[in-house]
Amino acid sequence: MKKTSPVPSIIGCLIIQLCVGILYIWSVLRREFSASFALAEGSTLPAMVASYNLFAFVIGNFIGGFLNDKKGAKLTALIGVVMFAGGVGATGLLTSSTVNLIILTYCVIAGLGSGIAYGACISCVQKWLPHRRGFASGLAVSAFGLSTVVFAPVSRALMTRFSHPAASPNFADSKLIQVVDYRAVFFILGAVFLVVGIAAWLLVKAPDKAYLDSLPKAAANAKVVSTKRDYTLAQAAKTVPFWCIFLYIFFINGTWNLTSPLIATLGESERGLTAAQAVFAVSFAAIPNCAGRLIMAAVSDKIGRVAASIILCAITLVGAVFMTFIAGVPYIVTVAAIAFGYGGPSAINAAISTDFFGAKNSGTNYGVVMMGLGVSSIFFNMVSNTLLHRDPVPTFIMGAVTAVLAAACMVVINVYLKRMRAEKA
C-alpha cells in the first residue's frame, strides 16, 4: 500500500499563502494612488485602506476557522482564494468617482478572503505535521510573509509598465506626475491569483488516518506542553491561557504597529538615512519578518512556546528602546530586529493555541484569539495619531511597554503550565 505523502498538500497550502499574503503590500500599491484617482489633497482614504484591510483579514480568520472546523480545509481554502482574487480583480473596476468602493473590494472582500484562506492553510499544514507543529505553523506563515518579497517587485513592475505622465488636477500649475492605470494592475494581479490559487488548491487535502498512524512517535518534550484535549470555543474562552494568548497577540503586535508608519520618514528626517536607505529599511524588514516566522517556530518546538515567546518580547523591547535614539545603519538593523520580533509570534501563536485547545476546533479557537491582531492595529494606530502625534520618543517608549506587557502574559501562562504539570504529577 502506497504511503500518502504530505508534500503535495503542503506545497499547495504554501502557494496559496504566498498569493493571499499580498495583503501586506499596500504600501507599494498606494504610491501613485492619490494622483491616479484624483483624490483631494489630504485625503485619508489611502491611509485607511491598510487598517481596514487588516481588520477584515482578522475577521476572515475567524470565519475561515469556523468553516474549516465544520467543512474542512479544502472547501474553506477554495472560498478564500476565490474571494481574495475576486476582490483584487474587482478593484480594477474602480474609477475616480467610485474609488471609495476600494473599502469594499480590496479591504472587505479581498481581506476576508485572505483571512479565510490563511487560517485554513495553517490548520491543514499543522494536521499533516502534528509531530512538528511549530515548524508547520512557521512554514505556513513564512510563505504568507514572503509574499511581500516576491510580489512587491512584481507589483512595482506592473505599475511602471502601466503608467504615464499626466497633469494632476491637484496641482494649480499642472505639474506633470506619474499616473498609474490601476485597472490593468489589479485585473492582472486578480487573474494571476485566481489561476495560481486554484491550481494550488487542487493539491490541498486533509491527511487520512493511515498516514497519521504511520507517523513516528515524536520524542516527549517537556518544554512543549499539550493538554491533549479538544476544546470548543466556549470551553476555551473559560480558560486563563485563552485570554493570555489574546492579550499577548494584542501587545506584541503593538510595537510594530507603532513603529511601521515611522520607519521611512523618521529615518530620513532625523536618523541620518538617505531617501534610498529609508525605503530600503522598509523593504528589508520583510526578510527578518519572514525569518522570525520560520526560525522561532522551529525553535519553539525545542525550547517551548512560552520560552520562545519571551525571547521575542526581549528582542522587541530592546529594539523599541534603541529606536528612541539610534541612527544610521544601526537604525536599519534595529528596525530589522523589531520586524523579527513581529514575525516570530505569527507562527508560535497558531502552535500554542493548538497545543492548549486541540486540533479539532483549532480554526475557530485560533480565529478568535487572532482578533487581538486586528484590535491591536486599530488601537495603537489611533493612540499614535491622536495622543502621541507620531512623536518618536513617546511612541517607542509605548512600544517598549507593550513588549513588557506581552512578556507578562507569557509569564502568567507559564505559571498555569507549572500548575498543570503539578496536578498531573
pLDDT of residue 12: 95
Of the pLDDT bands very low, low, confident and very high (cuts 50, 70, 90), residue 274 is confident
Q: Please enumerate in sequence order all residues whose Cβ is within 8 A of that of 386, keeping only pairs 6 or more positions apart, or say none.
A: none
Look up cell 523618521; give the residue: 266
pLDDT at 129 over 90: no
CA gap 308, 55 in Å, rounded = 26
Record the cell numbers describing residue 388, joined without a space: 502621541
Mean pLDDT of 346-363: 81
78/217: higher pLDDT:
78
- pLDDT over 90, % of the chain: 32
CA gap 387, 380 in Å, rounded = 10
CA gap 366, 54 in Å, rounded = 16
Record the cell numbers describing residue 362, joined without a space: 483549532
Looking at domain 221-425, its CATH class is mainly alpha
pLDDT at 42 over 80: no
Topology match between the domains 1-218 and 221-425: yes
- Burial bucket for residue 309 (CB in 10 Å: 0-12, 13-18, 19+): buried
* CA-based nearest residue to 17, from 281, 168, 175, 193: 193
Of the pLDDT bands very low, low, confident and very high (cuts 50, 70, 90), residue 1 is very low
* pLDDT, tens digit (0-9, with 9 covering 90-100), for 52-108: 888 899 899 888 888 888 888 899 999 999 999 999 999 999 988 898 999 999 999
Which DSSP state fits 109?
A: I
pLDDT of residue 421: 67
pLDDT of residue 177: 64
pLDDT at 169 over 80: no
Each domain of the chain, given as residue ranges in start order, spans 1-218, 221-425
Domain 1-218 superfamily per CATH: MFS general substrate transporter like domains (1.20.1250.20)
Q: Please enumerate in sequence order all residues whose Cβ is within 8 A of that of 112, keeping only pairs 6 or more positions apart, or say none.
A: 56, 57, 59, 60, 63, 83, 87
CA gap 300, 309 in Å, rounded = 8
Full-model pTM: 0.78
Element counts in the chain: helices (H) and strands (E): 20, 2
Record the cell numbers describing residue 284, joined without a space: 528589508
Q: Exposure string (b/e) for 337-358, b if CB count within 10 Å is 16 or more?
A: bbbbbbbbbbbbbbbbbbbbbb
pLDDT at 44 over 90: no
162/131: higher pLDDT:
162
Q: How many Cβ atoms sit within 10 Å of the Cβ of residue 220?
A: 6
* CA-based nearest residue to 239, from 417, 94, 399: 417
Mean pLDDT of 384-406: 85
* CA-based nearest residue to 48, from 261, 253, 247, 251: 261
* pLDDT, tens digit (0-9, with 9 covering 90-100), for 300-344: 888 888 899 999 999 999 999 999 999 999 999 999 999 999 988
